Amino acid sequence: MGSVSIRNVHKSYGALPILHGVSVDIADGEFVILVGPSGCGKSTLLRMLAGLEAITGGEVLIDGQVVNTKPPKERDIAMVFQSYALYPHMTVEANMGFSLKLSRAPKAEIKSRVAVAAKSLGLEPYLQRYPKHLSGGQRQRVAMGRAIVRDPAVFLFDEPLSNLDAKLRVQMRSEIKQNHQRLRTTTVYVTHDQIEAMTMADRIVVMNAGRIEQIGTPLELYDRPANMFVAGFIGSPAMNFLAGNLQQSEFSASDGSKIALPDVGNINVDKITLGVRPEHFRIDLKGLPAEVITIEPTGAETQVMMRFCGHDVVGVFRERIDVAAGQTIRVSLDREKLHLFDTKTGKRIGG
């Protein structure tokens, strides 16, 4: 069992505050991903869960017990880092079994647990090799194997795939997910790759400058971002933002174009920002003009950079579009899919 509660956790290095009161409740078996820009405090938070970093304020509970002052080895967690930190002078088998050896597990048990983990990770052919004779992906698997053999209550991953090339990353992503489906070990996983977050997480915690911006399932964050930070961070290509004003319950863009708004009830601010996902533009002869800046067909879809309502925006279209840069197309917006934000606070308006 491995629920994790993070309650109003603060962290300062000397006088410098880094985390400003972070709270998350993670259920046993859940796969939670922390995302956010570089320097926002993801690794710091993870290291506090691991016991590698002192907690300045607040509480961390694992399985209902406060662990603030417990040393790492008493927390029943296993951590996998970005740099795999394998022991170079030990074989794969010895690397994977090392923590069990330290805890004085019987030799036969170590061997069998390593064998099971090696099988699940496809590492059986490599057990007698040394790390320097492995590829990056294989090393990453050994680092995971080392965590798996311990059968911990909680796995912590800090950007474990960031040293791998794109193809291997996709493959390892699916392996980690399959492993989680099989083992159901509570997992807290840090990445700044939002695709990784969207595809792997049960829930995503979006952090920014030492605070939590929003917690939710991937699609909750995508469909109903609480503010412009989350809206711009989740989704690729990113959401487009059009600044404007509210005029007679219509959106009036900075160039004077008018756009009908979704029904979000009373809006009591006048400076509003419209959020449009790239896939929510539609080619429409009755729509508003958009001057094409660049056009990038990928085969499956067409990505168009265009000047729309006085802003440079990106649209993604399923159909093929036969126009050249400099030409004007007409597009409309899927009204019910628009997002509205208070320009001043960045907060979402309406449901």
Q: Is 38 in the site for ligand ATP (CB under 6 A)?
A: yes
Say whether the peptide bond before residue 237 is cis (omega within 30 degrees of 0): yes
Binding partner of 288, given Mg ion, ligand ATP, none, CB within 5-8 angstroms per partner class: none
Q: Assign 97 to helix, strand or coil.
A: helix
Binding partner of 90, given Mg ion, ligand ATP, none, CB within 5-8 angstroms per partner class: none
Q: Is 191 in the site for Mg ion (CB under 5 A)?
A: no
Q: Which stretch binds ligand ATP (CB under 6 A): 42-50, 116-124, 131-139, 255-263?
A: 42-50
CB atoms closer than 10 angstroms to residue 273 = 19
Q: Which residue from 5, 43, 120, 302 is in contact with Mg ion, where contact means CB under 5 A?
A: 43
Q: Which residue from 13, 101, 184, 217 is in contact with ligand ATP, where contact means CB under 6 A?
A: 13
Nearer to Mg ion, 233 or 341 (CB): 233
Q: Which stretch binds ligand ATP (CB under 6 A): 35-43, 126-134, 299-307, 313-321?
A: 35-43
Cα 188 from Cα 95, distance rounded (Å): 23
Q: What does the DSSP 8-state code read for residue 288?
A: E
From the CB of 51, what's the least distance to ligand ATP, in Å? 15
Binding partner of 348, given Mg ion, ligand ATP, none, CB within 5-8 angstroms per partner class: none
Cα 281 from Cα 302, distance rounded (Å): 12
The H or E element spanning position 103 is: none
Binding partner of 92, given Mg ion, ligand ATP, none, CB within 5-8 angstroms per partner class: none
From the CB of 13, what's the least distance to ligand ATP, in Å? 3
Q: What does the DSSP 8-state code read for residue 278?
A: G
Task: Kindly report the length of the chain.
Answer: 351
Nearer to ligand ATP, 210 or 315 (CB): 210
Q: Which residue from 5, 43, 138, 187 is in contact with ligand ATP, where contact means CB under 6 A?
A: 43
Binding partner of 192, given ligand ATP, Mg ion, none, CB within 5-8 angstroms per partner class: ligand ATP
Q: Is 40 in the site for ligand ATP (CB under 6 A)?
A: yes
> Nearest 10 degrees: CA dihedral of 256, 259, 264, 269?
0
Nearer to ligand ATP, 98 or 157 (CB): 157
Q: Which long-range contacts (CB under 8 A, 24 or more apart) does 208-217 make?
A: 208/36, 208/37, 208/40, 208/233, 209/40, 209/41, 210/11, 210/17, 210/18, 210/19, 210/20, 210/22, 210/40, 210/41, 211/19, 211/20, 211/21, 211/22, 212/22, 212/23, 212/24, 213/36, 215/24
Nearer to Mg ion, 43 or 214 (CB): 43
Residue among 182, 175, 179, 146 nearest 161 (CA): 175
Chain residues binding Mg ion by CB under 5 A are: 43
Chain residues binding ligand ATP by CB under 6 A are: 13, 18, 36, 38-44, 192
